Chains A and B, each alone.
Chain A
Amino acid sequence: MRVKINGQEIEAAAGETILEAARRHDIPIPTLCYHAAFGGQGHCRLCLVEVAAQGDKRLVASCTYPITAEIEVSTSTPLIERLRGDIIRLLYRQAPGSELMQDLAREYGCLDEFITEDNREQERCILCRLCVNACTALGASAISAVLRGVDKKIATPYDEASEACLGCGACAHICPTGAIPLQDEGGNRTIWKRDFELLPCEVCGRPFITPEQRDYLIARQDDLDTGLLCDDCRRTRVARQMEPFR
């Protein structure tokens, strides 16, 4: 299926989203809630683009809009840029504590806006829900989006330490704004109000995995017979195994 993005003709698969097609052809569209592993969610609305089809123009979220016809897409117009700036401004007001939002606000020229609501200075979450997706994809599903409207937040049930949590930290790693506190200290990890023990790497001795995550991986029959290796040591070993094939 041939579509035109910013005048450039590209080939797209039917049903593929505009964002995916654009990315494959290195056409940049800004996003905050998109991750290739989970697909489009349509949450942040930063990826708005203009679609022209049958003489009709409209704004759509490129991460959820499926290509089903030969359309023309503009990823940037003065209106789109104004809206993106305003979305950044709104998100910056929501999460002024996040460095990413500070940088983006600077880039879009809306940093000067004063924050009136008290006790929001520390807030970093922009509710992109990548953490929830990561936690669900890993199988733990310890966190979810709770409440609604302006009270919406990401939390464990009853805001308490969750039994389902494996302490893997995937949520904190994927978070674009550093909103999920993860503390590794002296062989212990604290995340979502729960304390975990950390087991050491068999090679370098660095504490890196919680027993809960290890048991979970074993139960899923992931390849652990090579031993408990941290990411660095595993990479080194794999590289060494590959050497004869070079």
Chain B
Amino acid sequence: MAQKAIDPAVRILVCCGTGCIANGGLEVLAALRSGLAHRNDMEVESSDSALVTGCHGLCAQGPFVRILPQDITYCRVQAKDVEEIIAKTLEGGTLIKRLLFRDSQRKEFISCRQDIDFYRHQHKIALRNVGEINPDSLDEYMERGGYQALRKALEDMSPDQVIAEVTRSGLRGRGGGGFPTGRKWLSCAATADSPRYIVCNGDEGDPGAFMDESMMEGDPHSILEGMIICAYAIGASRGFIYVRDEYENSVRRLEKAIKDARARGFLGTDILGRSLDFDIEIVRGGGAFVCGEETALLRSIEGEAGEPRDKYIFPSEKGLWGQPTVINNVETWVNIPVIIVHGADSFASVGTESSKGTKVFSVVGKVLHTGLVEVPMGTTLRRIIFDIGGGVPRRRKFKAVQTGGPSGGCIPESGLDMPVDFDSLRQAGSMMGSGGMIVMDDRTCMVEIARYYTNFLAGESCGKCTPCREGLRSLLEVLTRICHGQGNPGDLDRLEEIGETMRLASLCGLGRTAANPVLSTLRYFRDEYRAHISQKRCPAGVCPELTELYIDAVLCNGCTLCVKYCPTRAISGQVRQVHVIDREKCIRCGECVSRCNQDAVLVR
């Protein structure tokens, strides 16, 4: 192969989001750097061309290596592939087919990212820099227009104008409640009290959600910039970023970003030569889901157990240490610089009547392309799950999607064409939450899923008020009985009754929504509950006591695949002969069901 010198303009972006790191992203980066350093003809510093970036979104296919300016994206790259990438692609200018993204529907290999359906249908505002820049580099952030919004706000706008612009944009809190951001700021600015505080809620506690993480570790300066602009607008002097305990990478990159921003005069005293003093510190969460609730989070910053309080007076009037406090979630902050630079009208041109802009979802579970997806508000669930997410893998059938985290609800197939925004989801018995979307296939038992979430919430509730604590205890008791085949006909009404009490009487948002998983599955999958109770049968074949798996003698082609994967060796059968499941040994894990190419393993 004719070897050419490596183009000095080449930039190699290596995804070092949490997902890719787990799959060996750091090793790929190290191999690239050392591989490039060994090329004597390299005219540029090797470390300048192999760059760390935040999450590329399509996490299941990681680690990603994206080569610019050619715009070639390689997936599932391992350190051992690096030598070949350097030799064939960087020096030889040819593609390595096996590392390209394969579109299984179109049955073709794709090299350019924008041609992949997963990316093609997205609209990136909040994630504009994530995966594009080195999150540790303030210069790269500024090259992409970073801190221009701050300059514009400070130099050309009054604090009132900033608030008015945010209000006019129609931005609503991305953390769950959907409260209008501008109104929050206005109410804080209108108080007579000071000092005032600003808090970024990065306590992303929903299982199955990692969009805030991707922004904190992929584009930390956007968060800082949003907060500094708010500090100017409402007259705050101190800010706190409350980061979920588990997010090591986020903490590290935010720390670096704060340090760099201070050094450049974006934080500290006399910011940009104006009389604005503002600084930010990081507070690490203690591992409590309830701290996503803003009054609980504030208690946690104060050094107390994170128990919420009644919000008859909002934190914008009495928040941290009793002072006026604006608290917004990570994604909300990231949208602020865009609104200031491009204007409220431009922001509001995307989205629906009541929900403006875009929303980032983490689409996970039984979906082909798990990852982060940013789409305009009002995009249908079908587009997100099927066109972007690639649909349900392994030829299984879509059953439901859980939105809004543990206290969200499950939406069935009939709801797939619903445009997603704050209000439509609430009407469907679920909620936006912070944007988790967990796709479930027909091998998911909705009663068991409701039990799982209720169990999660029973441990995560703060335990302060009766309806939430005792309601969850009772729900869990009843659901567990149903899953074990000991349900009574009256149980379903009782579940609804308790759920209603929790919704109306609980102290905080967590308690008021904690029955959603039960109520929404009861609403859409009542027959499945009934089958558990009256026929003592789990139609999805999940609840062990109510499930029997068997192999259909006609469908089975004797391929032995199920025999190989059965963890308890409960399946016997020779090649090309019908296999049989030993009922005694079978633990109903369902591995055979998902492995069988003939769909011959059935649930009785």
Contacts and interface: CB of A to CB of B under 8 A. Distances in A.
Interface stretch (A83-91, A166-174, A178-186, A231-239): A83-91
A43 B465 CA distance: 4
Contact of B505 (A83, A116, A127, A145): A83
Contacts of B290: 148
Contacts of A9: none
Contact of A87 (B305, B313, B473, B501): B501
Contact of B504 (A83, A93, A152): A83
B56 to A, nearest CB: 36
A151 B461 CA distance: 10
B310 interface: yes
B472 A149 contact: yes
A33 to B, nearest CB: 9
B310 A90 contact: no
Nearest to A44: B466
Interface string A32-59: 0000000000111110100000000001
A127 B462 CA distance: 12
B493 to A, nearest CB: 13
Interface stretch (A61-69, A135-143, A211-219): A61-69
Contact of A149 (B309, B313, B460, B477): B460
A49 to B, nearest CB: 11
B467 A87 contact: yes
A60 interface: yes
B507 interface: yes
B501 A149 contact: no
- Secondary structure at the B interface, as helix, strand, loop or mixed, is helix
Interface in B471-522: 471-474, 476-477, 481, 497-498, 501, 504-507
Contacts of A65: 310, 312
A200 to B, nearest CB: 41
A150 B507 contact: no
A94 interface: yes
Given A45-B506, A64-B312, A117-B477, A91 B463 contact: no
A226 to B, nearest CB: 40
Residue with the highest number of chain B CB atoms closer than 10 Å, among A79, A149, A152? A149
Contact of A94 (B288, B459, B473): B473
A172 B467 CA distance: 25
A187 B602 CA distance: 72
B463 A59 contact: no
Contacts of B288: 148
A123 to B, nearest CB: 12
A64 B310 contact: yes
Contact of A61 (B305, B472, B497, B507): B507
Contacts of A224: none
Contact of A43 (B458, B464, B497, B498): B464
A93 B310 contact: no
Contacts of B504: 48, 59, 79, 83
A20 B461 CA distance: 29
A43 B461 CA distance: 13
Nearest to A33: B466
A147 interface: yes
A148 B469 CA distance: 9
Residue with the highest number of chain B CB atoms closer than 10 Å, among A43, A66, A93? A43
B147 to A, nearest CB: 40
Contact of B465 (A42, A83, A116): A42
B463 A150 contact: yes
Given A148-B288, A148-B462, A152-B463, A91 B310 contact: no
Size range of the interface on B? Answer: 20 to 34
Residue with the highest number of chain A CB atoms closer than 10 Å, among B458, B463, B498? B463
Nearest to B463: A152
B469 A93 contact: no
B470 interface: yes
Contacts of A61: 310, 507
Contacts of B464: 42-43, 145, 152
Contacts of B457: 149
A127 B467 contact: no
A45 B465 contact: yes
A147 B463 CA distance: 8
Contacts of A66: 312-313
A45 to B, nearest CB: 5
Contacts of A151: 459, 463
Interface in B98-138: none
Contact of B470 (A59, A83, A94, A116): A94
B312 A86 contact: no
B465 A145 contact: no
Contact of A148 (B305, B309, B312, B465): B305
Contacts of A117: 477
B467 A45 contact: yes
A42 B506 CA distance: 9
Given A42-B507, A45-B506, A150-B473, A127 B312 contact: no
B466 A87 contact: yes
Contact of B474 (A42, A90, A126): A90
B1 to A, nearest CB: 62
Contacts of B507: 42-43, 45, 61
A94 to B, nearest CB: 5
Nearest to B310: A64
B470 A93 contact: yes
Contacts of A152: 462-464, 469
A93 B469 CA distance: 12
Contacts of A148: 288, 290, 305, 459-463
B176 to A, nearest CB: 19
A150 B501 contact: no
Given A61-B507, A94-B473, A150-B461, A145 B310 contact: no
Given A60-B310, A147-B463, 16 more contacts: A42-B464, A44-B465, A59-B505, A61-B310, A64-B310, A65-B312, A66-B313, A91-B470, A116-B477, A127-B466, A145-B464, A148-B305, A149-B458, A149-B460, A149-B462, A150-B476
22 contacts: A42-B310, A42-B464, A42-B507, A43-B466, A48-B504, A64-B310, A64-B312, A66-B312, A66-B313, A83-B505, A86-B505, A87-B505, A93-B474, A117-B477, A126-B466, A127-B463, A127-B466, A127-B469, A148-B463, A149-B461, A150-B470, A150-B473
